[in-house]
């Protein structure tokens, strides 16, 4: 597996990954995250244009997609709890993997890649996203509290790894 920047040619494949992830979340009791087709294609196009979207590939197959940036996340400014530290951090958003055998382990690979790029990473997830919560804990992320998304006001569980 390797990580590379996402290109516009990748959009059909990653939109399928997101659609499959929405279905998987719904099937596992998380039907309220990523509703209404989120993340929508214009968001992904903006991520690509900004150089902040990445894919995990094996050969020519896209296994996973994610957003990574080393910059403050406005939704993380207030937390019901406490971050591990107040140092500059990387933030991961919109991480999803293909729902096939070849993609097993791709989510962990992506998160470890982000941590290798910057050893202070924050991420949030929906309280019903049990697979992501379990993965974050397995990889050493610490639960820090609840943040509210600026865009929607929805609560999200916040994690950090240092």
What does pLDDT average to over the chain?
A: 93
Average pLDDT in the 114-142 region?
A: 95
Predicted local distance difference test score (pLDDT) of residue 62 = 95
Q: Domains along the chain?
A: 2-161 (3.40.630.30)
- Low-confidence winner among 16-20, 62-66, 73-77, 133-137 (lowest mean pLDDT): 16-20
117: Cβ contacts below 8 Å, ≥ 6 apart: 68, 70, 90
Predicted local distance difference test score (pLDDT) of residue 85 = 98
Is pLDDT above 80 for 15?
Answer: yes
């Amino acid at each position: 597996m390797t990580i590379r920047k996402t290109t516009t040619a990748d959009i059909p494949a990653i939109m399928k990954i997101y659609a499959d992830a929405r279905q998987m979340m719904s099937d596992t009791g998380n039907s309220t995250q990523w509703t209404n087709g989120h993340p929508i294609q214009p968001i992904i196009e903006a991520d690509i244009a900004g150089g902040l979207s990445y894919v995990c590939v094996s050969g020519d197959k896209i296994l996973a997609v994610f957003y990574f940036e080393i910059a403050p996340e406005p939704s993380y400014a207030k937390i019901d709890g406490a971050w591990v530290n107040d140092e500059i951090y990387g933030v991961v958003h919109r991480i999803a993997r293909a729902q096939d055998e070849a993609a097993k382990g791709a989510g962990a690979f992506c998160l470890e890649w982000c941590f290798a790029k910057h050893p202070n990473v924050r991420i949030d997830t929906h309280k019903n996203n049990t697979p992501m919560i379990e993965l974050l804990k397995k990889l050493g992320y610490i639960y820090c509290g609840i943040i509210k998304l600026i865009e929607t006001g929805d609560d999200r569980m916040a994690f950090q790894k240092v």
